[in-house]
Amino acid sequence: METWKQSKAVFWTLATPGTLWLAIFFVAPLAIIWGLSFAEKTSIVDTEITGTLSNYIRALGTPVYLKIIWKSIWISALATLMCLIIAFPIAFVVAFAPDKWKPILLMAVILPFWINLLIRTYALISVFRTRGFVNFGLEWLWDGANSILAFIGLGPAVLGAFEPLQMLYNNFAVIAGLVYVYMPFMVLPLYATIERLDKSFLEASLDLGASQARTFWSVVFPLTMPGIVSGIILVFIPCLGSFLTPDLLGGTNATMIGNVIERQFKAANDWPFGAALSFLLMYATFGALALRSLFAGRKSGMEV
Amino acid sequence: MSEIAGTNKAASPGGRAIAGPRGRRMTIGPLEYGRRFWLRCFVAATFLLLYAPIFTLIIFSFNDSRRNIVWRGFTFKYYEKAWNNDGLFEAFTNSLTIAVLTTIIATILGAMVALLLWRYRFPGKPAYEGFMALPIVIPEICMGVAMLAFFSRIGWPSGMPWPLNLSAITIAHIAFTFPFVAIVVRARMAGFNRELEEASKDLGASEWQTFMNVIVPFMRPGLIAGALLAFTLSLDDFVITFFTAGPETVTFPVKVYSMVRFSVTPEVNAASTALIVITVLATIVAMRFQTPDKTEAT
């Protein structure tokens, strides 16, 4: 690697286009939103940046919005936890699979991630809706049970008519959707750390008489902590900012911050308030990233 | 549920046959987690739940019924319908145009950033790397509303003739895809033997000749993988496009969104299947190029 002073012309040619693009079309838009979050509406179309904190106060002080923020946090936390519980065994199996199988299994984990988020959510709708596959299967079982009961002489339709389960437009649907959509984000960092794990630690632990469970909690779990933290952040942040999943699967019953932001920028036309909510989301993201770098820094310091 | 439970039952005896006591090897080693029966079942069930909704979506795009749930025979008519749906077709053309433009520019920008980070040491490099990763890590909705505010504040003209009306969306797409390209290309460059570059320069090649004849040929698989990544990311993006797009420009995911909100129809299934096929093919090709071949990277 050379220092930039050795060939300044090449350095600047390479550095300028990307940096400028990001500065103009990424940093400037975010700066505008940041400014807007301290603005007030002066008329239907005009806003004026007055340095007011009223938008943040409204977001964090109004019970309605506080409730939505709190709900977004616990829905995201629950979805992240479920992702972790499901992804850990998968990552483990993939990491310990024979070399021949590894790429295939990894591909199987990654592939759904490449399928459009909207399409995957739509696929879930047709599974969960009142006339969807889950209810259809349940109805089939229900009718089967009914006719068996009728056959053994308990009279017709003992169980009564089938009542379809309402699985869409509630918190359950949103959590299931988030787990479904963001699971690959959890598997990959877990896989990466388990793969790099020195297998002889596990062997040593097992040889010295620890059970598989003990080995997992005392050896695997602490050693894969960086991967777990990365996975949690990679899933939690997009969950917290998700808009499509709660919109399509949650309806009006499971509104999250993302939906409120969308409403402020579209229907409600209150951009300053929407901007303040977006920046609360950004602060949360930065906080999470800072936590991770703090964690990663301490870890690498230990290993050296 | 019938679908899921049915296939699950079919899958588990297979798992048992290999992992069970009459398998190829009698004992399962302590670290052979992939051969443990319960773990196998768990992985199989998870993959099933992951893929069953997608496969049913694809299968039912061929179903000859509007109710969309009972199989009534094979048909292509919903593909025909989706193809002849002018709004859908226009949205698809728009999406492809945006994706192609984004791919070209994002690949160039991304490759330049990758070369910069690969080749040079400069003050503030870790901060610069963090800055480049920012579009990847911040929530999509924040970037979406930021783009909306940005283009309305600078008064980006709306209602322009066809390819130009896609400019705002394309600009936004380039901004969030090129950092991904940079990561992929940089990973490829990590396997490059710097002595080749030195040898080329020692033998009298100029900076540009070295770049074109030594670096670019090595970088090519990374460039292709990065380009395909940018293509799929752009084609798939909904949230950022949803905010950036004006009322008169519709892309494919935005169109599907409005159709899904309205009702669940086989036509949406057909259109979705077409998009799935395109992205999955692009991804598989990209993966092929991304796997480092050991013969070259000495």
How far from B168 is each of A36, A257, B76, B150, B234, CA to CA, in Å? 20, 25, 36, 10, 13
- pTM for the structure as a whole: 0.83
Average pLDDT over residues A293-303: 59
Residue A185 lies in a domain: yes
Q: Does A49 touch chain B (CB under 8 A)?
A: no
CB contact under 8 A, B43 and A89: yes
pLDDT for B106: 96
Portions of chain B given CATH number 1.10.3720.10: 81-290
Domain count across chain A: 1
| Cα four-point dihedral sign B181, B187, B193, B198 | positive
CB B243 within 8 Å of CB B298: no
CA angle B138, A25, B233 (to 5 degrees): 55
> How sure is the predictor about A59, in pLDDT bands with cuts at 50, 70 and 90?
confident
3-state secondary structure chain B: CHHHHHHHHHHHHHHHHHHCCCCCCCCCCCCCHHHCHHHHHHHHHHHHHHHHHHHHHHHHHHECCCCCCCCCCECCHHHHHHHHCHHHHHHHHHHHHHHHHHHHHHHHHHHHHHHHHHHEECCCHHHHHHHHHHHHHCCHHHHHHHHHHHHHHCCCCCCCCHHHHCHHHHHHHHHHHHHHHHHHHHHHHCCCCHHHHHHHHHCCCCHHHHHHHHHHHHHHHHHHHHHHHHHHHHHHCCHHHHHHCCCCCCCHHHHHHHHHHHCCCHHHHHHHHHHHHHHHHHHHHHHHHHCCCCCCCC
Q: Does B216 touch chain A (CB under 8 A)?
A: no
**Closest to A241 (Cβ–Cβ): which among B3, B140, B256?**
B140
Phi, psi (degrees; rounded to nearest 5) at A40: -125, 150
Q: What is the pLDDT of residues B176-199, one digit of tens each?
A: 999 999 999 998 888 888 888 889
Average pLDDT over residues A225-237: 89
Average pLDDT over residues B118-128: 90
CB contact under 8 A, A15 and B116: yes
Whether residue B262 is predicted with pLDDT greater than 90 in this model: the reply is no
Q: Does A3 touch chain B (CB under 8 A)?
A: yes
CB B39 within 8 Å of CB B48: no
pLDDT for B25: 52
**Strand positions, DSSP E, B73-158:** 120-121
Whether residue B34 is predicted with pLDDT greater than 80 in this model: the reply is no
Q: Give the integer Cα–Cα distance in Å for B223 and B215.
A: 11
> How sure is the predictor about B95, in pLDDT bands with cuts at 50, 70 and 90?
very high
pLDDT for B36: 77
Q: Give the integer Cα–Cα distance in Å for B277 and B289.
A: 19
Residue A109 lies in a domain: yes
Lowest mean pLDDT among A25-34, A138-147, B29-38: B29-38
Average pLDDT over residues A44-65: 85
Average pLDDT over residues B220-227: 90
Residue A147 lies in a domain: no
Whether residue A304 is predicted with pLDDT greater than 70 in this model: the reply is no
CB contact under 8 A, B33 and A14: no
Average pLDDT over residues A53-64: 89
Q: Position of tokens 């297998």? A: A199
Q: Does B127 touch chain A (CB under 8 A)?
A: no
pLDDT for B291: 64
For residue A209, give the CATH number of its domain. 1.10.3720.10
Q: Does A22 touch chain B (CB under 8 A)?
A: yes
pLDDT for B275: 86
Bigger pLDDT: B17 vs A282: A282
How far from B123 is each of A5, A257, B117, B214, CA to CA, in Å? 11, 38, 12, 27
Residue A37 lies in a domain: no
Average pLDDT over residues B49-77: 81
Q: Give the integer Cα–Cα distance in Å for B176 and B179.
A: 7
Residue A9 lies in a domain: no
Residue A3 tokens read as 């220092």
Whether residue B72 is predicted with pLDDT greater than 60 in this model: the reply is yes
Q: Give the integer Cα–Cα distance in Å for A73 and A280.
A: 12
Residue A68 lies in a domain: no
B81-290 to CATH, choices 3.30.565.10, 3.40.50.2300, 1.10.3720.10, 1.20.140.10: 1.10.3720.10
Q: Give the integer Cα–Cα distance in Å for B227 and B127.
A: 25
Whether residue A100 is predicted with pLDDT greater than 80 in this model: the reply is yes
pLDDT for B293: 52
Domain residue limits at A223 = 83-129+167-303
